[in-house]
């Protein structure tokens, strides 16, 4: 009888462990802001990651296209409650308020792991962020969380990605590849607690493009790749991000699936036209009403010619970037 009791107890413990390991991870994906097709990319990321790993992704999204998007997490320092990991994919380059930045960082300071994609590296900047920040400085807080300081990028051209072996789990089964049109983010400095996962080469320019960071004992994974939809939907990119997620939450035991015949709709659907027809024509606003008008912006990449006026010049070959 005692032996039977032990067997039943062991079976119950094993069942409990299986149930715990089969429980899906919960992630919050934050998107919105300047310069990117977040309306489409948020869904590509959600679908692509949920197909690969046992995870349920909720979305905190803003349709705002400015550098100061009113993200739903602002003013809510407990926004990560109930989540295993936070995925930052916002572009909030104009958000410099210290209290707002502290609120965004609050969960990570308490130990919630993070994954950061592309323009998250250029968000929450303050002070003279174009010079190397000093440890502990007010304008160093976001960079210290990420593990790398970046201030800008070059033109949209293919990037040759070469992986290193500093974090073997993330690079397991991941092969070097060359992206289509992408932005190579510069490296002002790689901070001491960061480990390089991959480097990118674009012409004669080189930079770290994927890395991990030890944020006061909390795991953080980042990649600066991911400007265009075609990159975000690339299976190699999604595999990299999926492995970065599992590494960050210390679930390297979890299987990473390889979806077959995977496809995504890469084009955002245009907004439906007003049903008012000619009746409402007097009150309608033409799509090109801002073309050629004088504009102002909180920041612009004047050294690269990506000026604010290009946002409304009607020329598809020019661009504005903060």
Rounded Cα–Cα distance for residues 246 and 238 (Å)? 12
**In a shared domain, residues 236 and 296:** no
Please check whether residue 17 lies inside any domain of the structure.
Answer: no
**In a shared domain, residues 233 and 296:** no
**In a shared domain, residues 318 and 236:** no
Instruction: Please identify, among 221, 248, 275, the residue that sits at the C-terminal boundary of a domain.
Output: 248
pLDDT of residue 37: 94
**In a shared domain, residues 244 and 309:** no
Please check whether residue 254 lies inside any domain of the structure.
Answer: no
**In a shared domain, residues 174 and 308:** no
Please check whether residue 270 lies inside any domain of the structure.
Answer: no
**In a shared domain, residues 116 and 231:** yes
pLDDT of residue 263: 87
Average pLDDT per block of 10 residues along the chain, 322 residues long:
42 41 92 94 97 98 94 97 98 96 98 98 95 96 98 95 94 93 97 98 97 99 97 96 98 95 78 44 42 62 61 54 64
Please check whether residue 314 lies inside any domain of the structure.
Answer: yes
**In a shared domain, residues 209 and 309:** no
Closest CA to 58 of 49, 66, 67, 70: 49
- 245 neighbors 53 (Cβ within 8 angstroms): yes
Three-class DSSP category at 110: coil
Pairing state of beta strands 160-163 and 177-178? Answer: antiparallel
Closest CA to 227 of 86, 67, 41, 61: 41
Instruction: Please identify, among 214, 248, 282, the residue that sits at the C-terminal boundary of a domain.
Output: 248
Q: Looking at residue 118, which CATH number applies to its domain?
A: 3.40.50.880
pLDDT of residue 174: 87
**In a shared domain, residues 205 and 320:** no
**In a shared domain, residues 115 and 183:** yes
- Number of structural domains (the chain) is 2
Instruction: Please identify, among 184, 215, 248, the residue that sits at the C-terminal boundary of a domain.
Output: 248
Rounded Cα–Cα distance for residues 181 and 17 (Å)? 45
| Domain hosting residue 300, numbered range | 291-322
pLDDT of residue 274: 42
**In a shared domain, residues 306 and 198:** no
pLDDT of residue 287: 45
**In a shared domain, residues 172 and 301:** no
Please check whether residue 267 lies inside any domain of the structure.
Answer: no
**In a shared domain, residues 45 and 194:** yes
pLDDT of residue 296: 66
Please check whether residue 10 lies inside any domain of the structure.
Answer: no
Please check whether residue 260 lies inside any domain of the structure.
Answer: no
pLDDT of residue 295: 62
* Cut 0.85: pTM above it: no
Please check whether residue 13 lies inside any domain of the structure.
Answer: no
């Amino acid at each position: 009888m005692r032996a039977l009791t032990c067997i039943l107890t062991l079976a119950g413990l094993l069942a409990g462990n299986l149930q715990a390991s089969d429980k899906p991870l919960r992630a919050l994906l934050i998107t919105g802001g300047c310069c990117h097709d977040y309306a489409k990319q948020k869904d590509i990321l959600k679908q692509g990651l949920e197909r690969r790993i046992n995870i349920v992704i909720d979305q905190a999204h803003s349709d705002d296209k400015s550098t100061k998007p009113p993200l739903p997490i602002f003013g809510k320092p407990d926004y990560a409650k109930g989540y295993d990991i936070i995925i930052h994919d916002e572009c909030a380059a104009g958000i410099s308020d210290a209290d707002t930045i502290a609120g965004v960082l609050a969960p990570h300071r308490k130990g919630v792991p993070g994954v950061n994609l592309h323009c998250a590296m250029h968000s929450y900047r303050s002070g003279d962020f174009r010079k190397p920040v000093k440890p502990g400085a007010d304008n160093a807080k976001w960079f210290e969380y990420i593990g790398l300081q970046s201030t800008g990028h070059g033109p949209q051209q293919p990037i040759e990605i070469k992986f290193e072996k500093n974090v073997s789990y993330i690079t397991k089964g991941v092969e070097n590849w060359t992206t289509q049109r992408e932005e190579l983010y510069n490296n002002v400095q790689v901070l001491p607690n960061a480990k390089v996962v991959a480097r990118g080469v674009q012409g004669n320019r080189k930079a770290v493009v994927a890395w991990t960071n030890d944020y006061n004992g909390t795991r953080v994974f980042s990649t600066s790749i991911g400007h265009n939809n075609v990159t975000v939907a690339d299976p190699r990119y999604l595999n990299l991000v999926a492995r970065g997620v599992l590494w960050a939450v210390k679930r390297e035991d979890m299987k990473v699936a390889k979806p077959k015949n995977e496809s995504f709709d890469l084009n955002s659907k245009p907004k439906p036209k007003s049903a008012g027809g000619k009746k409402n024509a007097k009150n309608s606003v033409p799509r090109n009403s801002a073309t050629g008008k004088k504009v102002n912006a909180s920041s612009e990449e004047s050294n690269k010619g990506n000026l604010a006026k290009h946002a409304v010049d009607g020329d598809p070959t020019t661009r504005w970037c903060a």
